[in-house]
Structure 1
Amino acid sequence: MTEYLVFRLYAPLASWGEPAVGETRPSATHPGRGAILGLLGAALGIRRDDDEGQNELHESVRVAVKQRSPGILLRDYHTAQVPGERKGVVYRTRRDELSAPRKVINTILSSRDYRCDGLWTVAVWLTPGATLTLETLEQALKTPHFPLYLGRKACPPAAPLDPRRVTAERLKEALDTEFPKLIRDEQQALRLSSESLYCWEGEAAMLDGKEEGVESNDIWDSPLNRRRWQFGPRIEYRRFVRLEEGS
């Protein structure tokens, strides 16, 4: 039996960053390891420049996600004004950029993706060398030090995370933890499908003891240095599971 900390993520808008090239800022359909550690770090009060605290969190937990609904893709078109390079001039803040002479201001076009009305369950468990406890993480999510966001500051959670510790024999049991419905007709309003996507790290058979139908991918979302936005690879296992009749 393993103890897990499980909680729910829902918001009208969420954005789970993926590698960005050029002007496009895509979003994954579900939160990855970096997003979940960022959420836990904010709850604990760990700042981005706190390398020791970030590393302690990184080395203490493993994560898994159950996607009930990926949400609907929303693409937001952006324009931003930024100054061009000027010899001997360093812009340290956005205010410095906007105070630059108009003749050196350029306009950058970009698009940012969001997931509308997505619904996910997250499970966190401790590594053998963990220095944090699930009790500490649970309390932090209940009374977070910093505001919590689902990817970007424009995406605050719209429902309680309702964190709780559960003991289960298999990871799937923990991810299938029931939470109070957000609204009465949740199935139709959130466009919940007849199957759920499970994503986890560890071993292929860790979800429920079966390897049949399990896919694996190298995902570059494991934080190495938050200040430099450096991420390393990890193996993520995935499997779609059809809901049982009447569930």
Structure 2
Amino acid sequence: MEYLLFRLYGPLASWGEIAVGESRHTAVYPGKSALLGLLAAALGVRRDEEERQTEFAAGYRFAVKVVSAGHPLRDYHTTQAPDSVGKFVYRTRRDELVVGKERLGTILSSREYRCDALSLVAVTAEESAPYTLNEIREALLKPRFNLYLGRKSCPLAVPLNPLVRPAAGFGEALDNYPHGALFISKYLLRKAEKETAKDVTLSCSPLLAALSREDEYVFAYGNYPIRYYWEGEAGDLVSQQALTRHDQPLSRSRWQFTQRTEHLRIEKEERRCISPGSE
């Protein structure tokens, strides 16, 4: 079976959980709604296109390998906005501040983020999928809309590096994915250039296929277990725990979601992972 693989890393990420009152919590890894939204944005599928969104949500399954959950950050957030006036709609931010000046109020909220989190994602397509994995890969390389990690204030810090590869299951696909180093030192780059054949591109160098020594230090690589989350049959991963998540989209325009079952496996990194090049 073929899998589309890509990586998600940024200084800030926010994978929204159920919002209660003024608190906006985040999960430690991207859920299905966030991943569907990322792919749909790359393809140019708009939120108000209900039929296309519904078809898209039913066409794909995801697995996530959390290399680093990052560190939590909480932001005390204040927003000044006018309250609603019947069916009147404020067209711009200027309208809110000028036309709605007499109705301005302050909204207080607490928002959570994850700092320096790295996740690898595998996608498989169902028979009803509206786009092939290669079409999505091309869209991720040249997205129609801006891509971000949960919120617009959380941009990507590295390229997604999308690849389509065959594998026996989610586990093999994620463990053998040459996602590439995030930080490449001059020494590592010179070494990769020296050991790469002239007719092979530098991006294919085994030394640059996995995390660099600096990456491993920042992420405390090997000190914490790796977590795998997936939906449905994994093929080569055995579930240790079943989780319930409320991130299956019902309506993007009305922000309605329903629950689904997700599987979790926690283990050490030595399984089938590509060994990082020594420096």
TM-score where L is the length of structure 2: 0.81
Q: CA deviation at 1:90?
A: 4.4
Q: Equivalents in 1 of 2:178, 2:155: separation in Å?
A: 22
Q: Equivalents in 1 of 2:131, 2:89: separation in Å?
A: 40
Q: Equivalents in 2 of 1:92, 1:216: separation in Å?
A: 44
Q: CA deviation at 1:195?
A: 1.4
Q: Which residue of 2 aligns with 1:111?
A: 110
- The one-letter code sitting in structure 1 at the alignment partner of 2:70 is G
- The one-letter code sitting in structure 2 at the alignment partner of 1:222 is Q
Q: Which residue of 1 aligns with 2:216?
A: 187
Aligned to 1:140, what secondary structure does the other structure show?
Answer: helix
Alignment deviations for residues 117-165 of structure 1 (CA, whole Å, 9 cap, x no partner): 0000000001132232111111000111111111111111111100001
- Structure number with greater Rg is 2
Which residues of 2 match residues 1-247 of structure 1 at below 5 A? Answer: 2-86=1-85, 89-100=88-99, 102-176=101-175, 177-183=177-183, 184=212, 185-192=214-221, 193-203=223-233, 206=234, 208-211=236-239, 214-244=240-270
Q: Equivalents in 2 of 1:172, 1:88: separation in Å?
A: 51
Q: Percent identity at matched positions?
A: 49
Q: Equivalents in 2 of 1:34, 1:243: separation in Å?
A: 27
- The one-letter code sitting in structure 1 at the alignment partner of 2:264 is R
Greater helix share, structure number? 2
Greater strand share, structure number? 1
Higher relative contact order (CA 8 A, sep 6+): 1
Q: CA deviation at 1:11?
A: 0.3
Q: Equivalents in 1 of 2:154, 2:85: separation in Å?
A: 35
Q: CA deviation at 1:239?
A: 1.2
Aligned to 2:52, what secondary structure does the other structure show?
Answer: helix
Question: 1:170–1:93: structure 2 CA closer, same or farther, 3 Å change rule?
Answer: same
Q: CA deviation at 1:113?
A: 0.8
Question: 1:93–1:230: structure 2 CA closer, same or farther, 3 Å change rule?
Answer: farther
Cα pair 2:62 2:121 within 8 Å, conserved: yes
Q: Which runs of 5+ in 2 are unaligned?
A: 184-211
Q: Which residue of 1 aligns with 2:192?
A: none
Q: Equivalents in 2 of 1:143, 1:115: separation in Å?
A: 26
Q: Equivalents in 1 of 2:258, 2:87: separation in Å?
A: 34
CA RMSD of aligned residues (A): 1.9
Deviates more, 1:171-180 or 1:99-108: 99-108
Aligned to 2:58, what secondary structure does the other structure show?
Answer: helix
Aligned residues: 242
Aligned to 1:231, what secondary structure does the other structure show?
Answer: strand
Q: CA deviation at 1:179?
A: 1.6
Q: CA deviation at 1:197?
A: 0.7
Cα pair 1:83 1:100 within 8 Å, conserved: no
Aligned to 1:187, what secondary structure does the other structure show?
Answer: helix
TM-score where L is the length of structure 1: 0.91
Aligned to 1:244, what secondary structure does the other structure show?
Answer: coil
- The one-letter code sitting in structure 1 at the alignment partner of 2:158 is A
Q: CA deviation at 1:95?
A: 3.1
Q: Which runs of 5+ in 1 are unaligned?
A: none
Q: CA deviation at 1:207?
A: 5.3
Q: CA deviation at 1:96?
A: 2.6
Cα pair 1:200 1:207 within 8 Å, conserved: no
Q: Equivalents in 1 of 2:84, 2:99: separation in Å?
A: 11
Q: Equivalents in 1 of 2:52, 2:167: separation in Å?
A: 29
Q: Equivalents in 1 of 2:238, 2:244: separation in Å?
A: 20
Q: Which residue of 1 aligns with 2:190?
A: none
Alignment deviations for residues 169-220 of structure 1 (CA, whole Å, 9 cap, x no partner): 12101111132111241112133343111000003xx252534xx1111211
